[in-house]
Chains A and B, each alone.
Chain A
Amino acid sequence: MKHLIVLLSAFVIFSGSLSAQEKQEPWKNSQLLAPKVLADKITKNQTADVLILCVGPDAVIKGSVDLGAAHDAENLVKLKDYLKDVPKDKEVVIYCGCCPFAKCPNVRPAFTVLNEMGFRNARLLDLPKNIKVDWLDKNYPSND
């Protein structure tokens, strides 16, 4: 019984700290998209229902739309403008890839815009290091 209580307490503390971590970011962990999943979709030409938006320095990913670095207020307006006629249930994937999320000035303002505009299938491409290491070095499809 004692063990059960200890285990339950640990679970409550652990799950509490997890949700606290998630609360700090505008996205949920479930909204992170693995690069391989997107790369496979692009390779198999299955991106008709996906909108891939670059909110960083350069649209490296094949078929993605370059909207400029989202830390710049002008580019954020450009992003809002671009999205205003897009259906709210469309899968919208944003990425930057300049640096790890902790140091990236672009993904937070861009994802916040998606949330504020009510996009229900907003995703953030999970690039733990950067677009070179997590995409280009893996030979995933890129704009040449």
Chain B
Amino acid sequence: MRILFSILLIVFSIQKGGAQNKPLKIGESAPAIALPAVNGDTLSLSSLKGKLVLIDFWATWCSPCVEEQPVLKSIYEKFGNKVKEGKFEILGVSLDKSKDNWQKGIDQLQITWPQISDLKFWKSPVAKDYGIEGLPFNVIINEKGKIVAINLHGKALETFISNYLKKM
């Protein structure tokens, strides 16, 4: 009886632990994402296969995320020729709740790269799939859909993208 109780306790603990995030690892396949864009059309991460993709998890309610958007904009412009050649893309995944705020944020910040969101705030399943514990957060995936960098910001982010694109 005691053994049975111990087993049940262990199983229960494992199940409770399962609710927590599994941290991402470099080299793993990126978890699938397929969410609506502002116009309602679904955009999937798999449709960007063949490109180096910077997935930027952000929200208009997150001030550091908003402050980072001009940095991303300059990266997007700097590597604009690679975007045209189909070798690089940024995918914005918003954890906003309000569609109005999301749309206004995109307009005000003049974001031109693809944006998607399920408008579920921290309840979004992608937040759990990617083990996000705070924003801003980003992941870079290569042309094969494998994770090559996690949570780089500022100069380190730009340098990584630049070096990677040179090899492609």
Contact = CB atoms under 8 A, between A and B. Distances in A.
Task: Give the bracket for the number of chain B residues in contact with chain A.
Answer: 20 to 34
A111 B78 CA distance: 44
B24 interface: no
Contacts of A129: 133-134
Contact of B19 (A58, A130, A131, A139): A139
B86 interface: no
A98 B101 CA distance: 15
B163 interface: no
Contacts, number: 52
B122 A139 contact: no
Contacts of B16: 139
Contact of A99 (B21, B62, B123, B127): B62
Interface in B89-122: 96-98, 121-122
Contacts of B63: 99, 103, 105
Q: Is the interface of A mostly helix, strand, loop or mixed?
A: loop
Contacts of B20: 137
Interface in A67-101: 69, 97-100
B123 A136 contact: yes
Nearest to A99: B62
B61 A69 contact: yes
A97 B135 contact: no
B27 interface: no
Nearest to A142: B123
A98 B19 contact: no
Contacts of A133: 133-134
Interface in A105-144: 105, 129-133, 136-139, 142
Interface of A: 56-58, 60, 69, 97-100, 103, 105, 129-133, 136-139, 142
